[in-house]
Structure 1
Amino acid sequence: VTDLDGTLLDHQSYSWAPAKPALARLSKLGIPVVLNSSKTRSEIRQLRQQLSLSSPFIAENGAILDWGDGGAEGFAEPRQHLLQVLAQLRDQGFAFAGFADWDRRQVARMTGLDQAQAALAMDREFTEPLLWQGDDDALAAFHQALARHGLQAQQGGRFLSVMGQYSKGACLSALRARYPGRRLIALGDSPNDAPMLDLADIAVVIRSPRSDLLSPLGPCIRTQQPGPAGWNQAIQDILDNRS
């Protein structure tokens, strides 16, 4: 189970080229690669095609587990509820801007995506990515206000993602039921990956500016290289040493 931005994908270029050898080896061994990201289902479906994956995937920080065969399990309220709460908080003086405020061109500029990819990123069902425009004290108050509405905000690689009270680990019990007896390897690079890493049999912390904040509960591998190069090395080492 892997995070995408900053983990399987390079944080700047979104390339996974350095991870291709490990991905090919996993495919040959019949080991499923489950993508678990803040990205939308539309984005992940496209990426799955490019990676030639057919396994289930988890979108929008754990909001929905898509089995990849037309079925899905949801764990969150619709995005419209979040937008209503955010409108109230903005009226109270909190300063932020998010995807709902931007057109496709602006989202492309903020993310580094082209406009076609930006359109997929805007196809959100359960979460709202924000750029925070206030100070740290206001941010702490913002978190408290969200909590009163049953919501939370998690800092990802680029954006503060407003979402319900769930995490990237929310879907893993259902995933384990789908693959009984399999060891679960989880790979991530930032604090919002912590719930997923804590539930793994082997946690891989990909080197990043914030990876030192991660302290998984179980066995842990920390990579020397960031992004897909670190991903590739960790998977190759695990496969070389598996019993």
Structure 2
Amino acid sequence: MFVGFRILSRKRTKRIILTDLDGSLLDHDTYSFGPAKSLLVMLEKIGIPVIPVTSKTFSEVVKLKNELNNNHPFITENGSAIYIPKSYFKTTKLSWKIRNNHFLIQNGYNRDYLIDSIQNHANEFLAEFKTFNAMQKIEGIQSIAKLAGLSEEDAWNANNREFSEVVVWLSTDKRKQMFADCLTKNGLLVQQGGRFLNITGLHTKGEAVKKLISIYCDQPGIDKCDSLAIGDSNNDISMLEGADTALVIKPRKRKPIKVSRKTKVHISQEFGPKGWVSGVTEWLQNFS
């Protein structure tokens, strides 16, 4: 037990934190996790994994995980893929692919298929959006860097997508909804992230989270899991609904997202990583 916390864990119960990044663990504007640094170190020491569940790419998450000293599984591109370090679990499955020294569980379409589908099915909207793929080809990687407030290296990582496409919407909210409905009718999912639209197949963060939790629960010596999901945007709702406990991070410039669940759901009083710290601390103290 860690000094200052009443109960952190119970034998044969695996506690897991599944967290969105931008606007939750990371500050929405600076991308800093500074306020959470000490708590992250403590969680690592007591064996509670912090699992990124994000719209970010493999390249982006690996860079961040190195900064966090985090060697746990992670979910990329809004649930499109689950990556697991090869030596992480004792029990694995032959159906898992191997990529970049990780096991890969692919849930979504490849990016090329998504780009073709957007072009084929959304012709009437072509003047109302830009894709990251087109921006890099036509305007160069610096255009993405400037728009997202990133270095060119980070912009390259953000555009190094495997199973999703990012759309920068330029028109009205009404037209955006029509665009989303058009793609949904053709088997794609349009989700609003913190800044941009994210296009994937018809899968969600929530589905990927359920798969990963079940893998943890199937490991030797584990009878059950106790999961905390953390997020601040609409694309986080599915995992917030599916976890044992949900922590909604209060955004700076809008009202908190709404979830349908009525129990074990908390809304932070602070923004970004400060709200993350207070919410996780409360969860640690109220394990039953």
Same fold (TM > 0.5): yes
* 1:78-157 to 2 correspondences below 5 Å: 78-94=110-126, 95-102=128-135, 103-157=140-194
The corresponding residue for 2:24 is 7
Say which of 194, 209, 213 aligns to 1:172: 209
The corresponding residue for 1:228 is 273
Counterpart-to-counterpart distance in 1, 2:175 and 2:164 = 21
SS of match in other structure, 1:221:
strand
Say which of 91, 94, 104 aligns to 1:72: 104
Q: Which has the larger radius of gyration?
A: 2
SS of match in other structure, 1:37:
coil
SS of match in other structure, 2:19:
coil
SS of match in other structure, 2:225:
coil
SS of match in other structure, 2:210:
helix
SS of match in other structure, 1:140:
helix
Tell me, yes or no, if structure 1 residue 195 matches structure 2 residue 227: no
Q: Quote how far apart the aligned CAs of 1:210 are.
A: 4.4
Q: Quote how far apart the aligned CAs of 1:212 are.
A: 2.7
* 1:48-67 to 2 correspondences below 5 Å: 48-67=65-84
Counterpart-to-counterpart distance in 1, 2:45 and 2:124 = 55
Counterpart-to-counterpart distance in 2, 1:211 and 1:67 = 34
Structure 1: give runs of 5+ residues left out of the alignment: none
Letter in 2 for 1:78: N
Counterpart-to-counterpart distance in 1, 2:169 and 2:104 = 32
Counterpart-to-counterpart distance in 1, 2:146 and 2:23 = 18
Counterpart-to-counterpart distance in 2, 1:76 and 1:158 = 22
SS of match in other structure, 1:67:
strand
Counterpart-to-counterpart distance in 2, 1:60 and 1:11 = 18
Out of 101-110 and 34-43, give the one that drifted further: 101-110
Percent identity at matched positions? 36
Q: How many residues align?
A: 243
SS of match in other structure, 2:155:
helix
Runs of 4+ in 1 over 4 A off after TM superposition: none
Q: Quote how far apart the aligned CAs of 1:216 are.
A: 4.7
Q: Quote how far apart the aligned CAs of 1:123 are.
A: 0.4
Give yes or no for contact 2:122–2:183 (8 Å, CA) kept in 1.
no
Give yes or no for contact 2:54–2:77 (8 Å, CA) kept in 1.
yes
Structure 2: give runs of 5+ residues left out of the alignment: 1-17, 87-101, 218-223
Question: 1:4-50: per-residue Cα shift (whole Å, max 9, x none)?
Answer: 00000000000000011221221111001110000001110111111
Question: Scaled by the length of structure 2, what TM-score is found?
Answer: 0.81
Tell me, yes or no, if structure 1 residue 26 matches structure 2 residue 43: yes
The corresponding residue for 1:16 is 33
Out of 186-195 and 210-219, give the one that drifted further: 210-219
Counterpart-to-counterpart distance in 2, 1:90 and 1:241 = 48
Out of 60-69 and 141-150, give the one that drifted further: 141-150
Out of 23-32 and 86-95, give the one that drifted further: 86-95
